[in-house]
């Protein structure tokens, strides 16, 4: 009986602490305690009329495949935030804080296109601020920005495309498993893990890679205003650190987040005080307490890699 009472007391205290935490999270206070980074919701008439917004791009960039339905680092949510901030006249510039090794081709291109659109149609200044990693697809979206700032040790570059197809045919042969395939056309099971790829299929997939690679190179040429031959020399998949990237013309400045904010202020012609705002979902903080951003089902990685990877991704 005494043991049950202790258990009930522990559960009760946990529930109370969780309720208090949720109450604190959802009260309308600045999402980030530091003075220069205030929640958009906290802006009031007495606040500065000019603001800079920060959008986080964290982890692999996918199309609607966030680890949790409460997290919002997928391509669609990033595009949505770009549109929200782009429509606000008080937002004079946007900082895209990137800490990503890349992602799927389509998802990366969605973000790139929206950045270019906001720069052209809404005349927004957009500055990329690279964190630990902004490689491959991470660099792709940075190339769309007006300027790129990175730390000296940031890993970037890795310009290229990768596709990986599993082949478990030898394993299945050894354990006596044989797959029977019924298909509508000869290419319907191209890339199947149950048989060896044919020469014709390899040529077909290589053509896809070459096309996506060409799009990557063209995106850098367009966004960075670089000579195409120079981009081709750099775009062989190698990784650069920030200091190397600067000397090669892949980025514009070495510095931290504050350096990116200062550069955005300068480019946007902002004088005096500026409010730096974010738009975070309170659920992100709730789930981060439980490791929500990184939690996956044990078989999730296996499923996501079991068929085809077609990505701008740092390996």
Edge to edge, the sheet with strand 162-165 lists 102-104, 308-313, 162-165
Residues 199-226 have pLDDT tens digits of 999 999 999 999 999 999 999 999 999 9
The residues, any chain, with a CB within 8 Å of residue 154's CB and separated by 6 or more, are: 130, 131, 132, 133, 134, 241, 242, 245
DSSP state of 61: B
Question: Is 123 one of the catalytic residues?
Answer: no
Catalytic residue of the set 66, 72, 129, 136: 136
Q: The tokens of 12 are what? A: 């009760």
The pLDDT tens digits for 177-200 are 988 889 899 889 888 888 889 999
Please give the structure tokens belonging to residue 174.
């050894």
Given a cut of 90, whether residue 19 has pLDDT beyond it is no
Beta bridge partners of 241: 155
- Name the H helices within 87-150: 105-121, 137-142
pLDDT for 311: 77
CA atoms within 13 A of residue 306's CA, in its CB half-sphere? 7
What pTM value is reported for the model? 0.76
Residue 58, beta-bridge partner list: 99
CA 14 to chain centre: 34
| DSSP percent split of the chain into helix, strand, coil, nearest 5 | 45, 20, 40
Cα–Cα distance, 272 to 279 (Å, whole number): 23
- The proportion of the chain whose per-residue pLDDT surpasses 90, expressed as a percent, equals 57
For residues 8-29, give the mean pLDDT.
59
Q: Is 136 tagged catalytic?
A: yes
Reference 26, options 278, 277, 281; nearest CA is 281
pLDDT at 154 over 90: yes
Q: At what angle do helices 75-86 and 105-121 cross, to 10 degrees?
A: 0
Tell me the domain boundaries of the chain: 27-158+227-297
Instruction: Write down the catalytic residue from 188, 228, 296, 307.
Output: 188
Q: Which of 7-21, 41-55, 75-89, 248-262 has the lowest mean pLDDT?
A: 7-21
Give the tokens for residue 10: 């522990």
Q: Are 38 and 277 in contact (CB under 8 A)?
A: yes
Query: 137 vs 5, which has greater pLDDT?
Result: 137
Instruction: Give the class (CATH, top level) of 27-158+227-297.
Output: alpha beta
Q: Provide the residue count of the chain.
A: 315
Per-residue pLDDT reduced to its tens digit, 41-78: 344 444 567 999 999 999 999 987 554 444 446 899 99
Pairing relation of β-strands 275-278 and 37-39? parallel
> pLDDT at position 273, please?
86
């Amino acid at each position: 009986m005494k043991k049950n009472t202790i258990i009930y007391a522990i559960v009760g205290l946990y529930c109370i602490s969780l309720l208090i935490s949720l109450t604190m999270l959802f009260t309308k206070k600045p999402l980030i305690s530091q003075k220069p980074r205030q929640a958009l919701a906290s802006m009031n008439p007495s606040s500065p009329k000019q603001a800079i917004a920060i959008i986080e791009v964290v982890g692999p960039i996918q199309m609607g495949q966030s680890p949790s339905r409460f997290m919002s680092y997928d391509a669609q949510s990033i595009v949505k935030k770009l549109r929200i901030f782009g429509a606000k006249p008080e937002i004079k510039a946007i900082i895209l804080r990137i800490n990503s090794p890349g992602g799927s081709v389509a998802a990366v291109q969605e973000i790139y296109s929206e950045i270019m659109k906001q720069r052209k149609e809404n005349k927004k200044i957009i500055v990329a601020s690279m964190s630990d990693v902004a490689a491959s697809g991470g660099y792709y979206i940075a190339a769309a920005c007006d300027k790129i700032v990175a730390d000296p040790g940031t890993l970037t570059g890795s310009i290229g495309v990768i596709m990986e197809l599993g082949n478990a045919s030898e394993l299945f042969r050894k354990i006596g498993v044989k797959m029977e395939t019924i298909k509508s056309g000869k290419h319907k099971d191209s890339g199947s893990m149950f048989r060896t790829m044919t020469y014709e299929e390899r040529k077909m997939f290589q053509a896809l890679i070459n096309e996506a690679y060409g799009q990557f190179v063209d995106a850098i040429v367009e966004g960075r205003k670089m000579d195409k031959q120079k981009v081709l020399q750099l775009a062989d998949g190698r990784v650069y650190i920030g200091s190397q990237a600067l000397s090669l013309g892949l980025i514009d400045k070495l510095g931290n987040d504050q350096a990116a904010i200062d550069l955005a202020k300068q480019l946007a012609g902002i004088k005096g005080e500026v409010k730096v705002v974010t738009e975070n979902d309170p659920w992100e903080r709730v789930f981060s307490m439980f490791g929500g951003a990184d939690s996956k089902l044990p078989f999730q990685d296996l499923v996501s890699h079991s068929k085809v990877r077609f990505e701008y991704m740092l390996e």
